[in-house]
């Protein structure tokens, strides 16, 4: 069983596996270490990852990007409507409030929820990992943005389950980086912690985290982010610039044409990358629309001027993170940079100027998240032994619980988990109730979560509550933010105060206790105490109460149904590939055999069969281009079997003679 870490990136994802000798990033089917985070639908099959990328432009209406930005969101969500929509090329629709995509799949208009689409992508991740490691893949750790809320985290967990993955932990991406950094350091201090500031600027978001290390453990001190700051913002800025330029220069409106816009976006990304290493870069796109070629250039200075506002945004999260950690720049021992966009020189310079010190890049900036996730998976997996390294992560948003007031109790809410509360974490709440009651969990600062996400998290109904001896029962409720950063109520139970009479033991403590209770003056307290008893009040658990949780997770039956659907689509994709292979095999056989019938097979074809055999091969070829162009795997296989009736004995006779000739040659050479 492989131990896998997945960095779920907005542009591309990276998979790493833990092996005995260390962590390896693995390659996909075209030997790339990154797999485009894209899902595409075609007339016969789905295209996942690389194959979706190859047809992103020709099939843009059926290609889904920005998977991490859309998973688990609602259609009406402000961020979806105002921001994400600009980056998506497939139509988004509302299915019972859930954000979904409408695509043409297998010739039919089909809708899929974002959770389903993400599950498809994870299926591909699983297949890539399984094919590389030649072992089944189930246990994994998936890295997600730290700013994901409960609903987004649950959506990822549901998608993973649909894809047949068992998530040992959803790890915050910056924490994965921090783990990868710390576990390899052999010189971590015993006492005074070493503080590292990690900066990750990717395609769509930017995260800063401050982490303290001492030997064998890391503690996340604070985290700040700009959820809408990354490479794609620079790309869009360039698109706006060049679209305006081409309007005046060529009289074309690139933004009115979906394909042209995608090509300009790709051209701008390329230009941006060139500008990271050069002072000037060209932009050339042939036949972008209306048969027009476009060309332009940009200087790095011009780029930096255009991006001035964007670059200026880099400071706020740095400041916030330091403030939340209660630290100053002087407390930071090193600043580690990861993420693709950190290659933009102006960004790096601005961060460097902020800290007033050299930045470090000791980590692989593109692979650090995946490597850290794989390490976490190895730590959690029972099938792997790794050096112990404790990870103390924190929450990003405060969570409160609310409830209906009772005559005895006016309070109706409590912040149960503060911002920067450590995770996982359990809190026990106490209530006095005579009847069943509900707790509503929600984010306490709705303005801090991604705009458009409902701050409501879950409702927990505590059932079977009844008075005890005519008084409200004392009920303990165990709330937990688990290892994934997901909130739940683990259990609820009644406690009763029981007065117990206990003998006071004749120990030192017994003596102390006795004297505390007023037995002073007795010279031999310990001896005297053996014959004494005392009354103590104890809270005793009196049985569990049922808790009904209403969360944003999908119903178990829905997950099972979607899993079945996903498996059907996997089987259907496989059948398409197998059918294509059967067709290719037949085609190859026809060409290969026909070219040999008058060549090396000449003496081995029975003359009476030859004319018919060649005719059969020709007929099969004609059939392939006609009605046989599109048929089933079994029909191709049957056709090949038909040709084999005459063809196979010919090949066998040929091989036999060849083998004999080889043996004779070997014998001659050995004498």
Q: What does the binding site for ligand ATP look like in residue numbers (CB under 6 A)?
A: 9-12, 68, 202-205, 230-232, 269, 272-273, 276, 339-341, 343-344, 366
Look at residues 190, 419, 214, 429 and name the one whose alpha carbon lies nearest to residue 321: 419
Q: Do 133 and 174 form a contact (C-beta atoms < 8 A)?
A: no
Please give the Cα distance from 176 to 583 (Å, whole number). 45
Q: Report the residue number, 9 or 164, with the smaller CB distance to Mg ion.
A: 9
Please give the Cα distance from 493 to 476 (Å, whole number). 5
Binding-site partner at residue 472 among Mg ion, ligand ATP, none, CB < 5 to 8 Å by type: none
Q: Report the residue number, 351 or 605, with the smaller CB distance to ligand ATP.
A: 351
- Closest distance of CB 41 from ligand ATP, Å: 22
Question: Mapped to the 3 state alphabet, what secondary structure does 538-554 carry?
Answer: EEEEEEEECEEEECCCC
Q: Report the residue number, 316 or 576, with the smaller CB distance to ligand ATP.
A: 316
As to burial, measured by CB atoms within 10 angstroms (0-12 exposed, 13-18 middle, 19+ buried), residue 532 is middle
- Number of C-beta neighbours around residue 186 at 10 A: 7
Identify the residue among 5, 202, 472, 510 touching Mg ion (CB under 5 A): 202
Residue whose tokens read 């630290």: 327
- Closest distance of CB 201 from Mg ion, Å: 9
SS3 500: strand
**Which window, 13-21, 198-206, 301-309, 546-554, contacts Mg ion (CB under 5 A)?**
198-206
Q: Report the residue number, 199 or 554, with the smaller CB distance to ligand ATP.
A: 199
Q: Report the residue number, 270 or 644, with the smaller CB distance to ligand ATP.
A: 270
Q: Report the residue number, 368 or 473, with the smaller CB distance to ligand ATP.
A: 368
Per-residue tokens: 346: 């102006």
- Closest distance of CB 483 from ligand ATP, Å: 21
- Closest distance of CB 7 from ligand ATP, Å: 6
Q: Which residues contact 280 (CB under 8 A, 6 or more apart)?
A: 297, 298, 299, 300
CA distances to 277, 594, 607, 609, 622 from 612, rounded to whole Å, are 66, 12, 10, 6, 15
Binding-site partner at residue 400 among ligand ATP, Mg ion, none, CB < 5 to 8 Å by type: none
SS3 81: helix
Q: Do 167 and 31 form a contact (C-beta atoms < 8 A)?
A: no
Q: Report the residue number, 202 or 450, with the smaller CB distance to Mg ion.
A: 202
- Closest distance of CB 335 from ligand ATP, Å: 17
Binding-site partner at residue 72 among ligand ATP, Mg ion, none, CB < 5 to 8 Å by type: none
- Closest distance of CB 168 from ligand ATP, Å: 21
Residue whose Cβ sits closest to ligand ATP: 231
Q: Report the residue number, 8 or 403, with the smaller CB distance to Mg ion.
A: 8
- Number of C-beta neighbours around residue 491 at 10 A: 15
Q: Do 318 and 354 form a contact (C-beta atoms < 8 A)?
A: yes
Q: Does 72 bind Mg ion (CB under 5 A)?
A: no
Binding-site partner at residue 36 among Mg ion, ligand ATP, none, CB < 5 to 8 Å by type: none
Q: Do 5 and 25 form a contact (C-beta atoms < 8 A)?
A: no
Residue whose Cβ sits closest to Mg ion: 202
Identify the residue among 9, 164, 455, 647 touching Mg ion (CB under 5 A): 9
Applying CB under 5 A, the residues found at the interface with Mg ion are: 9, 202
């Amino acid at each position: 069983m492989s131990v896998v870490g997945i960095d779920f990136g907005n542009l591309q994802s990276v998979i790493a596996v833990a092996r005995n000798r260390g962590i390896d990033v693995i390659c996909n089917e075209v030997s790339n270490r990154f797999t485009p985070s894209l899902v595409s639908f075609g007339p016969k099959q789905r295209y996942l990852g690389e194959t979706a990328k190859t047809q992103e432009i020709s099939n843009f209406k059926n290609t889904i990007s920005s998977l991490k930005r859309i998973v688990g969101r609602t259609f009406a969500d402000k961020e979806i409507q105002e921001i994400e929509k600009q980056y998506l090329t497939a139509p988004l629709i509302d299915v019972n409030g859930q954000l979904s995509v409408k695509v043409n799949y297998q010739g039919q208009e089909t809708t899929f929820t974002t959770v389903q689409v993400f599950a498809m992508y994870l299926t591909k991740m699983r297949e890539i990992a399984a094919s590389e490691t030649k072992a089944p893949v189930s246990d994994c750790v998936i890295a997600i943005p730290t700013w994901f809320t409960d609903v987004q985290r649950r959506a990822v967990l549901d998608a993973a389950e649909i894809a047949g993955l068992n998530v040992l932990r959803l790890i915050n991406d910056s924490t994965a980086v921090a783990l990868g950094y710390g576990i390899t350091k052999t010189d971590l201090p015993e006492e005074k912690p070493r503080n590292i500031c990690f900066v990750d600027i990717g395609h769509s978001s930017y995260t800063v985290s401050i982490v303290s290390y001492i030997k064998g453990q890391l503690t996340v001190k604070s985290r700040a982010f700009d959820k809408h700051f990354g490479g794609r913002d620079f790309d869009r800025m360039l698109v706006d610039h060049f679209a305006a330029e081409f309007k005046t220069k060529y009289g074309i409106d690139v933004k009115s044409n979906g394909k042209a816009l995608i090509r300009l976006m790709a051209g701008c990304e390329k230009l941006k990358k060139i500008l990271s290493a050069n002072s000037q870069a060209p932009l050339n796109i042939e036949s972008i629309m209306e048969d027009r070629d476009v060309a332009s250039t940009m200087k790095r200075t011009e780029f930096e001027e255009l991006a001035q506002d964007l670059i200026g945004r880099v400071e706020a999260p740095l400041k916030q993170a330091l403030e939340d950690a209660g630290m100053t720049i002087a407390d930071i021992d090193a600043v580690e940079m990861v993420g693709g966009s950190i290659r933009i020189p102006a960004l790096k310079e601005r961060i460097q100027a902020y800290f007033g010190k050299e930045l470090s890049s000791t980590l692989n900036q593109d692979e650090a998240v995946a490597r850290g996730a794989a390490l976490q998976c190895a730590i959690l997996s029972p099938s792997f032994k790794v050096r112990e390294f404790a990870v103390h992560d924190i929450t990003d948003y405060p969570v409160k619980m609310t409830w209906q007031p009772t005559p005895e109790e006016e309070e109706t809410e409590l912040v149960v988990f503060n911002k920067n509360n450590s995770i996982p974490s359990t809190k026990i709440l106490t209530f006095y109730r005579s009847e069943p009651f509900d707790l509503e969990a929600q984010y306490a600062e709705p303005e801090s979560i991604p705009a458009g996400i409902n701050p409501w998290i879950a409702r927990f109904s505590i059932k079977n509550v009844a008075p005890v001896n005519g008084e409200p029962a004392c009920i303990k409720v165990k709330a937990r933010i688990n290892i994934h950063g997901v909130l739940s109520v683990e259990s609820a139970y009644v406690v009763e105060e029981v007065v117990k009479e206990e003998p006071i033991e004749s120990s030192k403590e017994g003596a102390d206790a006795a004297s505390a209770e007023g037995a002073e003056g007795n010279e031999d307290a310990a001896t005297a105490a053996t014959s004494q008893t005392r009354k103590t009040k104890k809270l005793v658990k009196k049985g569990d109460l049922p808790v009904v949780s209403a969360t944003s997770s999908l119903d178990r039956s829905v997950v099972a149904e979607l899993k079945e659907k996903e498996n059907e689509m996997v089987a259907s994709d496989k059948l398409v590939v197998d059918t294509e292979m059967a067709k290719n095999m037949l085609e190859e056989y026809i060409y290969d055999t026909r070219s040999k019938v008058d060549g090396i097979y000449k003496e081995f074809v029975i003359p009476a069969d030859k004319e018919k055999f060649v005719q059969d091969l020709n007929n099969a070829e004609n059939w392939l281009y006609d009605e046989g162009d599109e048929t089933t795997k079994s029909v191709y296989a049957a056709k090949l079997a038909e040709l084999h009736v005459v063809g196979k004995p010919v090949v066998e006779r040929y091989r036999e003679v060849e083998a004999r000739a080889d043996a004779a040659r070997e014998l001659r050479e050995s004498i």
